[in-house]
């Protein structure tokens, strides 16, 4: 409780400074104790400048600080956490996660940080998975209950794949053919498995799936990538091996009480040095004895080393000197991120009681996964909000539209397919990870051949510039992968700093 109070005081201090006018649009905002910046520095600003205040950057910063090094963090946006982002209660009741959601029992670094920095763990908060009996499929203009799907006339999937949610029916087969050793979380990068770094589409065609079947199971509401042709089956092998390790863990996962963003905020509150918010980086130069970081506003920072923790999609907007070469440059330019767009609503009535259908829907149209969320810890059966969670090509299509047009189209689609939703929903919040210059998507995905081509080289230093972020993680994924990468980079640089 004492730590939580301290965290809130630090956050309140930040809000107070913002309101006082210190956080001007054209100037960086400082979250720290010793802030100063000028256009021409004669001395170093820190031992390490960290670009990005997500979990990777914050974990690295705290490790540096504990080891006695001087650190500054530079963050482009006005908040902490990167792709860990919780909706405000004032925007969406129940404050659902907009970014990183579940915390597994094997998220050792995340769970340790939660305990260390005084945030409480609570139960998992499902976002795109409905409770048993609370989901109906909407496929080819038909409502189909899960128990009806295996024998339904519209189910044309091959024998052995007709039971279960379409997006998950292939996972069992992927598990059977997974060549990776169960206990080797780094094997997915081993060149000896390069023949498996091929399209998931080719694997499913070999199993007798038609193109329409593949579109249903891999191109509709897919949590990874866009479609089967553009994602490597090796990525699924990595995910399955990692899930196996998570399931074998004895730890207790869940979600952060109050939202997962409370964790990076707590980490930032524990960090005693500077975090410069609203400070996009324009360029980073590695020189003979230092790095120079130039912000969009023209101010510069200098340090012996720079640690960049941005996703590759965000790194593409920054000029790096000397530039990346060869396969690393290919990786920076080509690694893509899973498209995610979310439209949040507050239900004004119990529409599911009106039509007798389950409250949540898995749709093969612009409605995506329409989920009735239950995020009230005191009343866990109450629907607090609904979300149209869009992935794959649907997310890309919607994201190209003007926001007001996208909202109108998705809302109309929902009302057309389910009349009980007419007048039942108040739109409350729109969030996109796609049209976001500092993210470009929710998390990295690997296209066929990319793991073999450049996965092992994305974190290679460029002179004095080093790299971290979930896309550079070897053993873990998601939030834990980000923490792993920050830890790896911090120890790497400590060896150089001496």
Cα–Cα distance measured from residue 123 to residue 98, given in angstroms and rounded to the nearest whole number:
17
What are the residues whose beta carbons fall under 8 Å from the beta carbon of 375, sequence distance 6 or more? 93, 94, 95, 96, 125, 384, 385
pLDDT given for residue 14 in this prediction: 39
Binding annotation:
75-76, 281, 389, 470
User: Region 439-467: what's the mean pLDDT?
Assistant: 97
Task: Report the pLDDT value the prediction gives residue 192, as an integer from 0 to 100.
Answer: 97
Q: Name the residue with tokens 């169960």.
A: 182
Count other C-beta atoms under 10 Å from residue 73's C-beta. Answer: 29
The pLDDT, as a whole number, for residue 384 is: 98
Cβ(459)–Cβ(329) below 8 Å: no
For residues 101 and 260, is the Cβ–Cβ distance under 8 A?
yes
> Using omega within 30 degrees of 0 as the cis cutoff, is the peptide bond preceding 322 cis?
yes
141: number of Cβ within 10 Å: 10
- Cα–Cα distance between 31 and 13 in angstroms, integer? 9
What is the band of 30 on the pLDDT scale with cuts at 50, 70, 90? Answer: low
Tens digits of residue pLDDT in 216-261: 999 999 999 999 999 999 999 999 999 999 999 988 999 999 999 9
Answer yes or no: is pLDDT of 39 > 50: no
Sequential DSSP letters for 7-61: HHHHHHHHHHHHHTT-S-TTS-EEESSS---BSS-SS-S-SEEEE--BHHHHHHH
User: What separation in angstroms does the CA of 308 have from each of 60, 329, 440, 492?
Assistant: 11, 15, 16, 13
Cα distances (angstroms) measured from residue 109 to each of 121, 244, 428, 476:
14, 18, 34, 11
What is the reported pLDDT for 43?
A: 83
Q: For residue 218, what are its two tokens?
A: 């891999």
Residue pLDDT, tens place only, 355-394: 999 999 999 999 999 999 999 999 999 999 999 999 999 9
Closest alpha carbon to 256 in 381, 115, 385, 389: 115
Residue 31 pLDDT class (50, 70, 90 cuts): low
% pLDDT > 90, the chain: 90
Calculate Rg over the CA atoms of the chain: 23
Q: Which residues are annotated as a binding site for substrate?
A: 389
Q: Residue range 54-68: average pLDDT?
A: 98
pLDDT of residue 32: 53
Query: What pTM did the predictor assign?
Result: 0.91
How wide is the angle at C-alpha 426 spanned by C-alphas 421 and 430, nearest 5°? 110
Plot region of 258 (φ>0 → left; ψ -120 to 50 → alpha; else → beta): left
Structure tokens at 386: 């609904």
- Give how far Cα 390 sits from Cα of 158, 367, 368, 415, 489, Å: 26, 7, 5, 16, 33
Other beta carbons within 10 angstroms of residue 292's beta carbon come to: 18
- Mean pLDDT for 28-53 is 66
Contacts of 15 (CB under 8 A, 6+ apart): none
Q: What is the CATH number of domain 2-84+255-336+444-497?
A: 3.50.50.60
Report how far residue 15's alpha carbon sits from residue 41's, in angstroms, rounded to the nearest whole number. Answer: 29
The residue ranking higher by pLDDT, 395 or 32, is 395
Q: Tokens 């999609």 belong to which residue?
A: 313
The region of weakest confidence among 113-117, 164-168, 273-277, 331-335 is 164-168
Tokens 């597994």 appear where?
104
> For position 18, what pLDDT does the model report?
34
Above 60 in pLDDT, residue 1? no
Q: Is the pLDDT of residue 350 over 50?
A: yes
Q: Calculate the average pLDDT of the chain.
A: 92
Architecture of the 127-147+341-432 domain: Alpha-Beta Complex (3.90)
Binding-site residues from annotation for FAD:
75-76, 281, 470
pLDDT-based confidence at residue 8 (cuts at 50, 70, 90): very low
DSSP of 460-471 = --BTTEEE-SGG
Q: What's the sign of the alpha-carbon dihedral 444, 446, 451, 454?
A: negative
Task: Say whether 127-147+341-432 and 2-84+255-336+444-497 share the same fold.
Answer: no
Segments making up each domain of the chain, as ranges: 2-84+255-336+444-497, 127-147+341-432, 156-248
Q: Take residue 420 and report the two structure tokens written for it.
A: 């009980």
As a whole number of angstroms, the distance between CA 418 and CA 361 comes to 10
């Amino acid at each position: 409780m004492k730590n939580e109070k301290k965290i809130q005081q630090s956050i309140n201090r930040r809000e107070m400074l913002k309101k006082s006018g210190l956080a001007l649009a054209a100037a960086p905002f400082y979250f720290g104790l010793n802030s100063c910046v000028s256009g021409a520095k004669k001395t170093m600003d820190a031992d390490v400048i960290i670009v990005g205040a997500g979990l990777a950057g914050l974990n690295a910063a705290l490790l540096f600080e504990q080891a006695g090094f001087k650190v500054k963090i530079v963050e482009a946006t006005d908040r902490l956490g990167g792709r860990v982002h919780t909706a405000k209660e004032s925007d969406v009741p129940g404050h659902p996660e907009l970014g990183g959601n579940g915390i597994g029992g094997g998220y050792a670094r995340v769970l340790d940080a939660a305990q260390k920095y005084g945030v409480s763990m609570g139960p998992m908060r499902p976002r795109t998975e409905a409770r048993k009996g609370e989901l109906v499929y909407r496929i080819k203009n038909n409502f189909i209950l899960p128990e009806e799907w295996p024998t339904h006339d519209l189910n044309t999937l091959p024998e052995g794949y007709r039971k279960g949610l379409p997006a998950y029916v292939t996972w069992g087969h992927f598990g059977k053919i997974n060549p990776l050793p169960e206990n080797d979380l780094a094997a997915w990068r081993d060149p000896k498995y390069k023949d498996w770094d091929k399209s998931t589409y080719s694997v499913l065609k070999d199993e007798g799936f038609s193109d329409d079947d593949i579109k249903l199971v891999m191109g509709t509401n897919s949590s990874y990538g866009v479609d089967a042709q553009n994602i490597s089956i090796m990525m699924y092998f990595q995910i399955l091996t990692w899930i196996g390790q998570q399931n074998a863990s004895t730890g207790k996962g869940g979600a952060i009480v109050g939202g997962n963003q409370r964790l990076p905020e707590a980490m930032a509150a524990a960090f005693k040095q500077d975090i410069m918010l609203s400070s996009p980086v324009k360029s980073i130069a590695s020189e003979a004895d230092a790095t120079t970081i130039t912000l969009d506003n023209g101010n510069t920072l200098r340090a012996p080393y720079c640690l960049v923790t941005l996703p590759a999609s965000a790194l593409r907007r920054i000029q790096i000197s000397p530039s990346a070469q060869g396969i690393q440059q290919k990786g920076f330019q080509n690694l893509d991120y899973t498209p995610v767009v979310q439209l949040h609503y507050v239900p004004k009535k119990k529409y599911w009681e009106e039509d007798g259908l389950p409250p949540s829907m898995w749709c093969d149209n612009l409605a995506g996964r329409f989920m009735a969320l239950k995020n009230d810890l005191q009343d866990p059966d109450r629907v607090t909000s609904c979300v149209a969670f869009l992935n794959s090509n649907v997310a890309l299509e919607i994201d190209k539209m003007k926001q007001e047009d996208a909202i109108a189209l998705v809302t109309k689609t929902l009302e057309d397919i389910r009349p009980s939703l007419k007048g039942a929903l108040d739109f409350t919040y729109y969030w996109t990870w796609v049209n976001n210059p500092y993210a470009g998507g929710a998390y990295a995905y690997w296209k066929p051949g990319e793991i073999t081509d450049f996965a092992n080289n994305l974190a290679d230093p460029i002179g004095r510039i080093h790299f971290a972020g979930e896309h550079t993680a070897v053993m873990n994924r998601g939030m834990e992968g980000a923490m792993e990468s920050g830890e790896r980079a911090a120890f790497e640089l400590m060896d150089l700093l001496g």
